[in-house]
Amino acid sequence: MHKAVRTRAGIAIAGIALLVGGLTACGGDQADGGSGTAEGGHGADAKAHAPAEAVKASYLKTVAAKFAKAELSIVGADGKTSTQSGTKGWYPSSHDLLLKGERPEARSIMIEDLIYTQLDKPLKGKTWMKMNLAKDGKPGVRLNDDPAEYLAMLLGQEKVTHVGAEKADGIDAQHYKGTLTNEDLLKADESTKVMEEKNRQYLHESVKHVKSVEVDLWIDKDGYPVRVDSVSTDGSGSTKTTAKFTDFGKAAPVQAPPADQVVDLEDSLKDTDQSLKDTRESLKETDQKLKDVDADLKEADKTLRDAGLGGLGGS
């Protein structure tokens, strides 16, 4: 049929697995995303890069950018690796991604609660399948794995520390890290009030099932989060993610596919249900006709036997 969308939401959406936590070195060891010696972790430089202020400033700048290019590599709790590449958007959540994993490559477009999956074969002459993640008028709750979301989870977190200046994939950046519990993630303080209240509440709901998060974050000289390495643990196990972001504010906004190329999943399921019902009714009618024929044959057989002609099976 069509290629499955991975949501974790998600992908998520998706199914949705979480790309929330952090992975890399402890103490003064080099993180696998940085290639350089950590420096400036003490004294004046540490004060200049105080985690709370750095995260807050980066969050506000990232929110204003709205879109960025993204490359993510995810190792799920089952040990299987998948990748995402394309555009991420936030407030509202959106993406336009190529998804790769065990299944063939698939393109996924998401705008808020609507997810569009490109079909490998047209259905009713259309090349995209639409699915609505909202239920009973309520929005679906999930993590979007975008840079603003990563920063939002770190707002006001006292456990986030400044490691030092490093190269992250060849980019000059400041490295921050922290390990957070579910209690830490759910705690609201003054720092999170830089978020719009609806976004703050949405994030609060989205992280309720996350047991713990380890985060390594690199913020470049322009104030953008260019890389986040994470390990997130929930009831299904741990998910390891490497997320790289570029072209903040330069990436084109995510656009939905042309409406005339979209078939709705719900409508398709209704059509399938109706087709099954029609098939069942047709089978019932056929079964009744067979019973009627069988009854006619039995009556004819009895008539022949009564007439001494041996019945339908012969003498």
- Residues 34 and 46: their CA atoms lie apart, in Å, by 18
Q: Where are the beta strands (DSSP E) in 62-141?
A: 67-75, 81-89, 94-100, 106-111, 114-123, 126-132
Which pLDDT band, with edges at 50, 70 and 90, does 8 fall under?
very low
- pLDDT more than 90, % of the chain: 60
- pLDDT confidence of residue 274: 47
Looking at every residue in the chain, the average pLDDT score rounds to 81
By the 10 Å C-beta count (0-12 exposed, 13-18 middle, 19+ buried), 147 is classed as buried
- Please, which contacts does 192-195 make with residues 24 or more away whose CB atoms are closer than 8 Å? 192/152, 192/155, 192/156, 194/56, 194/59, 194/60, 194/155, 195/59, 195/152, 195/155
Tell me how many helices (H) and strands (E) the chain has. Answer: 6, 12
Q: Which helix (H) or strand (E) holds 193?
A: none
- The pLDDT of 278-287, averaged and rounded, is 64
Which pLDDT band, with edges at 50, 70 and 90, does 268 fall under?
low
Residue recorded with tokens 């709750």: 141
Residue recorded with tokens 């057989």: 301
pLDDT digits (tens, 9 = 90+) for 96-132: 999 998 788 999 999 999 999 999 888 888 999 999 9
The one-letter code for the residue type at 59 is Y
Residue recorded with tokens 């470049």: 220
pLDDT digits (tens, 9 = 90+) for 191-244: 888 999 999 999 999 999 999 999 999 999 999 999 999 999 999 999 999 999
pLDDT digits (tens, 9 = 90+) for 34-83: 433 344 444 555 556 899 999 999 999 999 999 999 999 999 999 999 99
- Global pTM exceeds 0.75: no
* DSSP letter assigned to residue 156: T
Name, of 150-154, 261-265, 288-292, the range with top average pLDDT: 150-154
**What residues pair up with 107 in beta bridges, in sequence order?**
98
Name, of 138-142, 153-157, 282-286, the range with top average pLDDT: 153-157
